[in-house]
Chains A and B, each alone.
Chain A
Amino acid sequence: MNFFAKLYYPLRKAWKAVRLYLVIAGPGIVVMVADNDAGGITTYAATGAKYGYHLIWFLLILIPVAYYVQEMTVRLGAVTKRGHAEAIFDGFGAFWGWFSLIDLLIVDWLTLVTEFIGMTAALGLFGVPPWITVVAVIVLMAVIVLNGRYWTFEKLALLFCALNLIYIPGAFLVHPSVRDVLHQGLIPNFAGGFNGELFFFLMANIGTTIAPWMLFFQQSAVVDKGMLEKDIPWGRFDTLLGSIVTVVVAVFIVIVTGTVLPGVDIDSAAQASQELMKTDRYVGTFLAIGLFDAGLLGAICISLASSWAFGEIFGWAHSLNTKIRQAPWFYATYFFTLVTAGLVVLIPQAPLVLITLFVQVIAVTLLPAALVFLILLLNDRKTMGERCNTPGQNLIGGVIVVSIIVLSTLYGFSVLFPNLFK
């Protein structure tokens, strides 16, 4: 009895902290889970099918990588009260500002098309025609953003984040060998030796972990949410939790395809779902639902990243806390990018595969620039004050940024020249 009495207060305190977190949980976890978008799900499914559990350790390394990069946007947004696009314009002048803004618009729009490809393919497995999926998604996203409150948007987005966890029960349904997962997955190894193909997969996994829109989205979201410097510790925790969740989900996708589809060449997550449905209807269905959810979450965040960026630069009202009449241009750019991207998927014979490849190449032009600007802005003591990067943070951040730039550039090259690493 005494033991339970002693346990009561710590438990109550912990529960209070959890409830507090649920109230303020926000952009960090949303952006990280949204990073597991349609393209990401395809990459993880293909990785599992190709290498089984052997690359799980590598995915775990990506937790600190994603955290350190995104954490910098939290500090920058909370201190400057500016989105990433505005910070670049202000810090580096109009040339670099326009370069980043136009590049962001192109990358976001192309990525949005890939999200629609994923969503239509996922619901296509249940017999839903693509045009119904596109219309339904646009209506659903209108409902999510047009309520006039950032808080409501964020909580609805968190619901979709929770649905992303569907891969976890999916992995248990295929009964993987826990011993194999631990033995093969947690000890760093390169199955079949380090060759060009393995290198391609490693680069693809990094490429899906850090995307340019994530930097712009999180910083703008931090500003729209009204986070202050005192909220930075919570923002950090939120980002760390998000980076753990996103990698855990990725690991479970790898476990599913590594268990059921070893050696199968996967071109898309929809194909993986179809293959899984042949062996286990429920697991295949879970993967398809997860793919749709991933595409939807990605689409919500990506179109917002563009609208926020444009609003910041053109001086339009650009907050989800505003109604459509108060911020017509903000919502107009949001729906313009959304509707046009959706329509592309409906065009018969549209070069969708080419668009998917093109995204990775164009992203390579924006990501290094955005990361370099991020590090430089975080070292601007005049603006950042005591929130400026410490030498330790610069060392870690610098190593991560240089590694990402090198690997994502090589990934872009490998897309341009497919035989480069074979």
Chain B
Amino acid sequence: MSAFRNLSAKIAAINARYREPRIEMSRAVRVSLMVLRVYLLALVALMVYKFVMIVTQG
């Protein structure tokens, strides 16, 4: 139990340490990260679709 508590405390510390992105959020960086988000969401949606197709069609 204490191992899990230690792990969650460690993860919380990591989240706190890296809360703010250090890189300057210029327009180019913001656009790149936004495109990346959209790309990844589309990819995940496609994988979920494929998974559902496999499950429903056997």
Contacts and interface: CB of A to CB of B under 8 A. Distances in A.
Interface centre among A93, A96, A313 (most CB of B within 10 A): A93
B23 A376 contact: yes
B15 A94 contact: yes
Interface string B1-27: 000000000100011001111111000
A91 interface: yes
B interface bracket (residues with beta carbon within 8 Å of A): 20 to 34
Given A92-B23, A93-B19, A372 B50 contact: no
B52 interface: no
Interface stretch (A146-154, A164-172, A217-225, A361-369): A361-369
A377 B23 contact: yes
Main secondary structure on B side of the interface with A: helix
Contacts of B28: 376, 379
A379 B32 CA distance: 13
Interface of A: 89-94, 96-97, 313-314, 361, 364-365, 368-369, 372, 376-377, 379-380, 382, 409, 412-413, 416-417
Contacts of A93: 18-21
Given A91-B23, A369-B40, A416-B50, A376 B29 contact: yes
A382 B24 contact: yes
Interface centre among A97, A365, A376, A412 (most CB of B within 10 A): A376
Contacts of B40: 365, 369
27 contacts: A89-B14, A89-B18, A91-B22, A91-B23, A92-B21, A92-B33, A93-B19, A93-B20, A93-B21, A96-B21, A313-B14, A314-B10, A314-B14, A361-B47, A364-B43, A365-B43, A368-B36, A369-B36, A369-B40, A372-B32, A380-B23, A380-B24, A382-B24, A409-B39, A413-B46, A416-B46, A416-B47
